[in-house]
Amino acid sequence: ELKVEQNPLFLSMQEGKNYTIYCNYSTTSDRLYWYRQDPGKSLESLFVLLSNGAVKQEGRLMASLDTKARLSTLHITAAVHDLSATYFCAVESQGGSEKLVFGKGTKLTVNP
Amino acid sequence: EPEVTQTPSHQVTQMGQEVILRCVPISNHLYFYWYRQILGQKVEFLVSFYNNEISEKSEIFDDQFSVERPDGSNFTLKIRSTKLEDSAMYFCASSELGGRAANTGELFFGEGSRLTVL
């Protein structure tokens, strides 16, 4: 059974600092997604990572995927307050399944 | 920009009552999903639907739950007899292609329907 672990679950950081959120998963998959969720809101798609070594960047966020290590990272560069949200990684089950298995989420708070 | 729309945004119901949550997926999408999120917890898969039938369902999706696409645009989730533990945010999602396809199969989520069972 596919399990997805994110860490840290809570992250409080100062504006301007860098940090990385980690997403590990337990079984083979080559599709991983990162979502952002603001309180009480829906899931906003940030990145779709489809292959080993994939790296995508959007603004201050950069995501990468290492399928051999079963690890994805979401790197935050020079954080700003607007990035405060909960970030979820989700991994697609293989073997014919279509479902996404989500991590527990990382609640990021960026302090001025 | 096309989006997935859900109604109602919030529903309060008594335990044992039937609830129907409605979703209008993006118009050219073929795969439809329901996920739920209990307050403060992670998002959990409930069911996927393709070609007018369920393609996969989770253990959560027991006999109390059903889905249908009654008219070619709406996609509904029915909970026949609600329990307290059904209180959650329910997200509908759709994708143009299923996850198995070579393309991204990216899911687009609706704003969610918050269900409160008293």
Distance CA(A91)–CA(A3), nearest Å, equals: 9
Q: Helix, strand, coil % (nearest 5) of chain A?
A: 5, 55, 40
Q: Which residues pair with A76 in a beta bridge?
A: A19, A61
B102 band by pLDDT with thresholds 50, 70 and 90:
very low
CA distances, A102 to each of B18, B40, B72, B76 (Å)? 28, 13, 29, 23
pLDDT tens string B15-53: 999 999 999 999 888 899 999 999 888 899 999 998 889
Determine the residue among B23, B35, B45 to mutate to test chain A binding: the one whose Cβ has the most chain A Cβ atoms within 10 Å.
B45
Q: State the pLDDT at residue A75.
A: 97
* pLDDT over 60 (residue B103): no
CB contact under 8 A, A88 and B58: no
For chains A and B, CB pairs below 8 A equal 59
Q: Are strands A71-76 and B19-24 parallel, antiparallel or unpaired?
A: unpaired
Does the pLDDT at position B98 exceed 90? Answer: no
d(CA B3, CA B112): 12
